[in-house]
């Protein structure tokens, strides 16, 4: 009887150990939930770098009596782990794309998911509204309802905080608009756009 009991106890101990390890991992993930408030200054500087990158964004400046606005909430995004041969889901980006363009360490991978997992509403930094027209896209009044609209997706930063990936959607009416991706590097404490490409046009 004792001979048969030993294997059973061994299996029981192994299962218990696995459960404890898994519980520890889950608790660690909870403890390391991402704090977007700590990156608000970076978000501000990243958006300013993009808005000053192209003169077409000058239509958003308050001094130009803008007929366009920036939505005051970042668009939530998802990270797809599917093969890059398939297009990412709406408001999504593939993990391979992030690993290629801004960082490919294990800590980078974990950081990408932490920055987008169970994401609460993240607002565009208030400082952006000092120069540019920023509105709540869900509470528009006339004539703002007919303004062109810019939606920034939540910036994704590398683990070392030196590279960032940002998507931007522009909507100017039915079947009118376009999208862009931006890659930025932080050089001498200043965010600079180093790459820009169009993703869609209508």
Domain range for 145: 38-201
The answer to whether residue 102 sits within a structural domain is: yes
The answer to whether residue 10 sits within a structural domain is: no
pLDDT at site 145: 73
Instruction: Summarize pLDDT for 17-39 with one digit per residue, the tens.
Output: 444 443 333 333 344 556 778 88
pLDDT at site 20: 41
Place of tokens 């991992």: 25
Distance CA(51)–CA(53), nearest Å, equals 6
Query: What are the backbone dihedrals phi and psi of residue 170, each rounded to the nearest 5 degrees, phi first?
Result: -120, 125
The answer to whether residue 30 sits within a structural domain is: no
The answer to whether residue 22 sits within a structural domain is: no
Quote the number of domains for the chain. 1
Distance CA(93)–CA(84), nearest Å, equals 10
Q: If you count them, how many residues does the chain have? A: 202
The answer to whether residue 112 sits within a structural domain is: yes
In angstroms, how far is CA 149 from the centroid of its own chain?
19
The answer to whether residue 121 sits within a structural domain is: yes
The answer to whether residue 3 sits within a structural domain is: no
Per-residue model confidence as pLDDT tens for the chain (202 residues) = 444 444 444 444 444 444 444 333 333 334 455 677 888 999 999 999 999 998 888 888 888 788 889 999 999 877 765 455 545 545 556 667 777 778 878 888 888 888 887 677 899 999 999 999 999 888 887 777 778 899 999 999 999 999 999 999 999 888 889 999 999 999 999 999 999 988 888 8
Q: State pTM to two decimals.
A: 0.75
Which residues touch 86 (CB under 8 Å, ≥6 apart)?
80
């Amino acid at each position: 009887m004792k001979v048969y009991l030993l294997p059973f106890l061994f299996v029981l101990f192994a299962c218990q150990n696995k459960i404890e390890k898994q519980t520890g991992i889950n608790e660690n993930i909870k403890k390391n939930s991402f704090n977007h408030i700590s990156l608000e200054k970076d978000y501000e500087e990243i958006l300013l770098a993009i808005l000053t990158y192209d003169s077409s964004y000058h239509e958003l400046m308050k001094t130009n009596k803008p007929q366009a606005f920036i939505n005051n909430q970042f668009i939530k995004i998802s990270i797809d782990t599917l093969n890059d041969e398939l297009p990412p889901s709406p408001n999504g980006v593939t993990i391979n794309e992030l690993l290629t363009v801004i960082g490919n360490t294990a800590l980078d991978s974990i950081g990408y998911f932490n920055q987008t997992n169970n994401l609460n509403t993240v607002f565009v930094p208030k400082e952006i509204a000092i120069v540019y027209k920023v509105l709540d896209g869900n509470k528009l009044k006339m004539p703002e309802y007919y303004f062109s609209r810019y939606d920034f997706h939540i910036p994704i930063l590398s683990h070392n905080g030196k590279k960032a990936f940002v998507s931007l959607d522009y909507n100017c009416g039915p079947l009118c608009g376009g999208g862009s991706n931006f890659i930025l590097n932080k050089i001498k404490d200043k965010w600079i756009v180093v790459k820009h490409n169009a993703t869609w046009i209508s």
